[in-house]
C-alpha cells in the first residue's frame, strides 16, 4: 500500500531535495530550480511555511523521480 502524500511546505521539500544531492541552480522570485545528479530539473515553489497542494507535491516528486516513501525518509 502506498502511503499518503505528506502535508509539507515548499521549504521542507527544498531541504529534502538538497539532502538528496540535488543542487540549487536558480532562484526566480519564490521558485527555486534544482538539478539532480542525473541532470533533471525540478522547480519548487517556496512561499514560507505555506503547505503545498497535493497536485503540486506530486508534480515535484514526478520531476525528481522520487517516491512518497523516499520523500518521507528525507524529511
State the pLDDT at residue 41: 94
State the pLDDT at residue 2: 59
Spell out the residues 6+ positions from residue 53 whose beta carbon is closer than 8 angstroms to its own: none
State the pLDDT at residue 75: 85
Q: Which helix (H) or strand (E) holds 45?
A: strand 41-45
State the pLDDT at residue 48: 82
Domains of the chain by range and CATH?
A: 10-74 (3.30.920.30)
In the chain the first and final C-alpha atoms are separated, in Å, by 20
The angle subtended at Cα 12 by Cα 16 and Cα 61, nearest 5°, is 60
CA pair distance 73, 46, nearest whole angstrom: 20
pLDDT less than 50: residues of the chain: none
State the pLDDT at residue 7: 86
Amino acid at each position: 500500500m502506498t502511503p499518503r502524500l505528506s502535508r509539507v511546505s515548499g521549504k521542507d521539500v527544498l531541504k529534502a531535495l538538497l539532502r538528496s544531492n540535488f543542487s540549487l541552480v536558480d532562484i526566480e522570485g519564490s521558485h527555486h530550480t534544482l538539478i539532480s545528479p542525473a541532470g533533471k530539473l525540478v522547480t519548487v515553489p517556496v512561499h514560507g511555511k505555506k503547505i503545498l497542494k497535493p497536485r503540486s507535491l506530486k508534480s515535484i516528486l514526478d520531476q525528481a523521480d522520487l517516491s512518497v516513501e523516499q520523500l518521507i525518509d528525507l524529511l
